[in-house]
Amino acid sequence: MTALQRIVIVGGGAGGLELAVKLGEKLGRKGKAHITLIDAARTHIWKPLLHQVAAGTLDSHADELEYIALARWHHFDFRLGRMTGLDRETKQVVLAPTLDEEDGSELVPEQTIAYDALVMALGSQTNDFGTPGVANHAIMLDTPEAAERFNKRFINSCLRAQARRKQAGEGRFTVTIIGGGATGVELSAELHMATRIMSSFGFANIHPERDLKIVIVDAAPRLLSALPERLSDAVALELRKMAVEIHANERVVDVSAAGVKMASGKFIPSDLVVWAAGIKAADFLKEIAGLESNRLNQLVVSRTLQTSRDPSIFALGDCAACPLGDAGATVPPRAQSAHQQAMLLAKSIPLYLAGKPLPEFKYQDYGSLVSLGEYSTVGSLMGGIARGSVFIEGQFAKMMYWSLYKKHQVAVNGWFKTWLATWGEYIDRVSKPRIKLH
């Protein structure tokens, strides 16, 4: 291996960032390879926290990590830009120009970055399945910016309600969440808790049961349909205690400014709509540069995580379709999948650059956890996706959920900085409001 070997990672989500840190410490620090991380954003926030950003129970600016600083500390380079193309013959990634947010002027020109090994870690985006009205009338919690936009609209609606007296017969403020997966379920509980906190701050016209109506709509027969039924039933029970309205087995056919229409004919008047049903990889990945992709735009990879048509290009996380077993299934798009694949590639890519055989990825399902804010956490541990072998809930489950985020922080920042950050979080909880009110 020579010092000129170039490793390029596109996407600074959980998996991509963890991989950049690992390779930077292993190869970049010793001058054995040049590692470049590319992302369209300047900062990183753990995606499973976006529902808290949307509800205002987490300040994204307090938890975000600066890519430039992380690159300096962990011996890799960071390039700001959005990938738009790929030239496999010359082994170059093409990045679109980055524009100044204030005046629209060109901040960073179009770039091409050469690679010897390329890792696609672009994550996923919400899939609206072509449903009319979603693009114009619903918010998708794909990015911190989208979560903050939802939060501002939610807070503004609460301020509006506080400033005027409610008229006789006037209905409750309704938030409709389309999608009964983890994002939709966790957001509903977080919104209920946020409204309760706001009420305690003196918002007399904002009460989680009297003034706010939270609705979840899902096309599946039950919430969290990909997880064990016992977990689903426990979550539904907790949500109903919060007066969350659940419409299962209902397919949304139209979203308008007035509300949400379902195939059954039901209509839910809605003030805010969140679309959290289904995912897909970025549209530009569909057969990019002749690479094989599936109907969700995911890049088809082998068990070594190499793309099927180019062994120098790897993919991990939500944008990769990696075989799972022998039945044609693929590894589920979950945070633990991306973490496990990043850890494998931290070992595999040095082997690839040295011309050695690569290990195969073997997905380990450690179970699932669903947070319902301060009310509860439920989950299954050490089981398959279809059969949780150990069911947990309450404080122990909350601790397990909290530890997942800490595990990610340790992978990026190390134990000492994570310990300091944890103390900082505790101090903030004591000295600041429990909700972002602006």
Q: Which tokens is 380 given?
A: 């299954």
Average pLDDT over residues 212-229: 89
* CB contact burial 357-388 (16+ within 10 A = b; e otherwise): ebeebebebbbbbbbbbebbbbbbbebebeeb
* Whether pLDDT at 263 is above 80: yes
Residue predicted with more confidence, 354 or 386: 354
What does the pLDDT look like over 65-75, one tens digit per residue? 899 999 999 99
148 and 212 share one domain: yes
Strand order in the sheet with 306-307: 77-80, 34-39, 6-10, 117-120, 310-315, 306-307
pLDDT of residue 258: 93
Enclosing domain of residue 34: 6-124+281-353
Does residue 386 lie in a domain region? no
248 and 160 share one domain: yes
143 and 118 share one domain: no
159 and 86 share one domain: no
pLDDT of residue 204: 55
113 and 142 share one domain: no
Question: Can you tell me the distance from the alpha carbon of 427 to that of 438, in angstroms, rounded to the nearest whole number?
Answer: 20
Question: Can you tell me the distance from the alpha carbon of 159 to that of 141, in angstroms, rounded to the nearest whole number?
Answer: 22
pLDDT of residue 385: 45
pLDDT of residue 34: 97
184 and 263 share one domain: yes
| Nearest in space to 175 (alpha carbons), one of 75, 25, 55 | 55
272 and 166 share one domain: yes
Q: Which tokens is 384 given?
A: 């398959």
| 8 Å CB contact between 216 and 189 | no
Question: Can you tell me the distance from the alpha carbon of 39 to that of 30, in angstroms, rounded to the nearest whole number?
Answer: 24
Q: Which of 196-210, 276-290, 417-431 has the highest mean pLDDT?
A: 276-290
* Whether pLDDT at 203 is above 80: no
Does residue 375 lie in a domain region? no
Tokens 């389309």 appear where? 178
pLDDT of residue 1: 43
Question: Can you tell me the distance from the alpha carbon of 42 to that of 53, in angstroms, rounded to the nearest whole number?
Answer: 17
43 and 163 share one domain: no
* Whether pLDDT at 137 is above 90: yes
* Whether pLDDT at 434 is above 70: no
Last residue of a domain, one of 353, 377, 406: 353
Amino acid at 91: K
| Nearest in space to 40 (alpha carbons), one of 117, 149, 125 | 125
| Nearest in space to 185 (alpha carbons), one of 428, 422, 368, 404 | 368
pLDDT of residue 122: 95
| 8 Å CB contact between 319 and 11 | yes
* Whether pLDDT at 386 is above 50: no
Give the pairing of strands 252-255 and 306-307. unpaired
Tokens 């010793």 appear where? 30
* CB contact burial 327-343 (16+ within 10 A = b; e otherwise): eeebbebbbbbbbbbbb
Last residue of a domain, one of 353, 375, 392: 353
What does the pLDDT look like over 359-369, one tens digit per residue? 999 998 877 77
**% of the chain with per-residue pLDDT over 70:** 84
pLDDT of residue 106: 86
Does residue 407 lie in a domain region? no
pLDDT of residue 230: 85
Tokens 């409610």 appear where? 166
237 and 171 share one domain: yes
34 and 50 share one domain: yes
266 and 285 share one domain: no
* Whether pLDDT at 132 is above 60: yes
Structurally, the chain folds into a number of domains equal to 2
* CB contact burial 189-220 (16+ within 10 A = b; e otherwise): bbbbbbbbbbbeeebebbebeebbbbbbbbbb
Residue predicted with more confidence, 200 or 278: 278
Cα angle value 68/42/276 (rounded, 5°): 140
Average pLDDT over residues 370-388: 64
Q: Which tokens is 400 given?
A: 């397990």
What CATH number is associated with residue 202?
3.50.50.60
Average pLDDT over residues 93-112: 88
* Whether pLDDT at 168 is above 50: no
Does residue 359 lie in a domain region? no
Last residue of a domain, one of 256, 278, 300: 278
Burial class of residue 316 in the structure, from the number of CB atoms within 10 Å of its CB (0-12 exposed, 13-18 middle, 19+ buried)? buried
pLDDT of residue 88: 96
Question: Can you tell me the distance from the alpha carbon of 431 to that of 202, in angstroms, rounded to the nearest whole number?
Answer: 18
With bands split at pLDDT 50, 70 and 90, how would you rate the model's confidence at 171?
low
